[in-house]
Amino acid sequence: MSPNVSPLKLETLDQLCINTIRTLAMDAVQAADSGHPGTPMALAPVAYCLWQRFLRFDPEDPIWPNRDRFVLSVGHASMLLYSLLHLAGVKAVNKEYERLGELSVPLEDIKTFRQLDSRCPGHPEYRWTSGVETTTGPLGQGVAVSVGMAIAERWMAAHFNRPNFEMFSHDVYALCGDGCLMEGVSSEAASLAGHLKLSNLCWIYDNNHITIEGPTTLAFSEDVATRFVGYGWNVTRVSDANDLAMLERAFRTFKQTSDRPTLIIVDSHIAYGAPHKQDTHGAHGAPLGEDEIRLTKRAYGWPEEAKFLVPDGVREHFAAGMGKRGHELREEWMKRFEDYRAKYPQLADELYQMQHRQLPQEWDQNIPSFPADPKGLAGRDASNKVLGAIARRVPWLIGGSADLAPSTLTRLTFDGAGDFTADTAGRNLHFGVREHAMGSMLNGLAHSKVRPYGSTFLIFSDYMRPAIRLSALMEIPTIYIFTHDSIGVGEDGPTHQPVEQLASLRAIPGLITLRPADANEVAEAWRVVMQLQHEPTALVLSRQALPTLDRAKYAPTQGLRHGAYILADAKNGKPKVILIGTGSEVALCVQAYEELTAEGIAARVVSMPSWELFDRMDAAYRNHVLPAEVKARVVVEQASVMGWERYVGSSGAVIGMKTFGASAPLKALQQKFGFTPEHIIRVVKDQLKT
């Protein structure tokens, strides 16, 4: 704030800015004839106080690494964020992390709110609108992601900070509502945040007593304050969302709390327009209407017919407050980074590479290769060895599991890896039995540019699917490691045997699903995964041992990077039948291939670990692997048959799961469901008859 402005003028400017946020939201929703004006109007003072007086954010550089994060978990209130981004003059950034100089949210985009190609979509979208720290909309996701961001700050501070060089010290704020706190993912995330004592985390809870169906008393009557005290949070309350002095006091309380996260409960009343209006239907999730907007603007002392008005002085006020503060902090940080680079060049290089999603030189130098072995190695065992080798070379590769590290084999065991706890910031994260929140927190870690991985059994990918979907939508390289990938789980039975999960993951646009066939394919899969910058990956691994194929006899594993490759071929390169397998079933295809070849049947084996990577290849390569003229095709996969018709055609066969599994030893299950070389051969011969 300018010291030359009188207190009365400051108060007037504060209210002018708040009402500008409100009226922009009203006008945008009305123009779109769609959206939620009530929450942006009610929370405008809260967001204004935070942004103008506390948030450490430089509008000129919205990806400055040590900026505070603001997450709008109530994504339906998107116009609140778009108004702030516009008034603060936040600049746009492209995928190459270059600032383009233009506004992230021009006024024209606010005027086309919720319209095609507008930078103001219905809910905030990361990568689409600079200044949006994460995509929100599904309630609870934003607050859960914010916990991952807070963990990332703690880890980065421990790894990079040195005496007199505080490179990371930012805070994470998330604005949430009743819906966020009803969703189970927020409970999971809040529980872990309290356990880890993340004092850099502040949730602001809009306690407005209303949801889409009506008052929260219909379904929500718990004592939220007591609940969060039980989680180990500091809880404070602001009884009036319009009281800037009390809001400022609450934020200062958060800043002074050093041993736990903070929940600020803000009592608000959803805004429905002019004070006389009592009808609670519509304004929460629909436009106010032109008449109501005019009445509301009259109550604000606003020109009633003006639309998308930004009065003189509003942008300047933001620039003198938030803009000036953030720019100075960013400039200080950049200067500090140059000094840091001189004194700690290796750490500075790591910080730069991490922030730009680059990899160190020779990052894959120590990835092991595995000798041919008919007994082989489980996918999870091979991954453990590869992960450890990569993590030694990529210090910001961190992660853990949803209480299953002894089974998924994802713990880093080398010296210095350590555990992430309330007191230490090691690289092994313990998410507890919280799959959904783990997925969201991994996304928060990825937003902060560390490279996160999280693991559980493939069957439990269902518990975290919303977070996986959002990682794909946001184009962030989160790594999901799923073990126990098939009915090979055996005696655990159908509750733990994934059947439809592979098809479900493959259905998510932008997600790379990889199911490697042996230990060397696992190593190659990790090479592919680590080089992805804008795609998340589901790495699907076996519990049981898989034969390690002799690569002197069969094709090298480099073909994996194409998604599918010819592993074994007919002697003349002109097969009569093609066997396609993934994961553990590739070895069955190879066994069948050897017997068919011995019988003089020209067969080809295609290992297809990733549909997505294969579909990216040009038509010539795809036709080389799967020639159109070869109609006899057999897919073998211990999963749902759904989707495989795209590769086998209308006349091909799929040996897969059409029911749930059963509780029995693996060999008995393979016999029951037809996953044997003998059955594959019978199906092949039937194909050749047609």
CA 69/CA 89 separation, integer angstroms: 17
CA 359/CA 160 separation, integer angstroms: 17
CA 532/CA 537 separation, integer angstroms: 9
CB atoms closer than 10 angstroms to residue 448: 25
| Side chain identity, residue 23 | T
Structure tokens belonging to residue 28: 């945008």
| Side chain identity, residue 672 | K
CA 423/CA 427 separation, integer angstroms: 13
CA 29/CA 34 separation, integer angstroms: 6
Active site residues: 435
CA 669/CA 487 separation, integer angstroms: 7
- For residue 252, the surrounding DSSP H or E stretch is helix 244-256
Alpha helices in 112-198 (DSSP H): 141-160, 178-182, 184-196
CA 10/CA 90 separation, integer angstroms: 22
Beta bridge partners of 566: 606
- The closest alpha carbon to 354, from 102, 533, 541, 189, belongs to 533
CA 307/CA 304 separation, integer angstroms: 8
Structure tokens belonging to residue 305: 């017919």
Q: Calculate ∠ Cα 391-197-184, nearest 5°.
A: 85
Q: Are 508 and 482 in contact (CB under 8 A)?
A: no
CA 402/CA 211 separation, integer angstroms: 32
What separation in angstroms does the CA of 86 have from each of 103, 274, 383, 549? 7, 25, 46, 58
Half-sphere exposure of 213 (CA within 13 A, CB side): 7
CB atoms closer than 10 angstroms to residue 266: 25
Q: Calculate ∠ Cα 454-455-459, nearest 5°.
A: 135
**3-state secondary structure (DSSP) of residue 77:** helix
Sort 492 into a burial class: Cβ within 10 Å, 0-12 / 13-18 / 19+.
middle
- For residue 282, the surrounding DSSP H or E stretch is none
Which residue is it, tokens 């003028």?
A: 9
What separation in angstroms does the CA of 480 have from each of 437, 612, 633, 634, 647? 13, 16, 31, 29, 26
CA 581/CA 652 separation, integer angstroms: 14
First-to-last C-alpha distance (Å) of the chain? 81
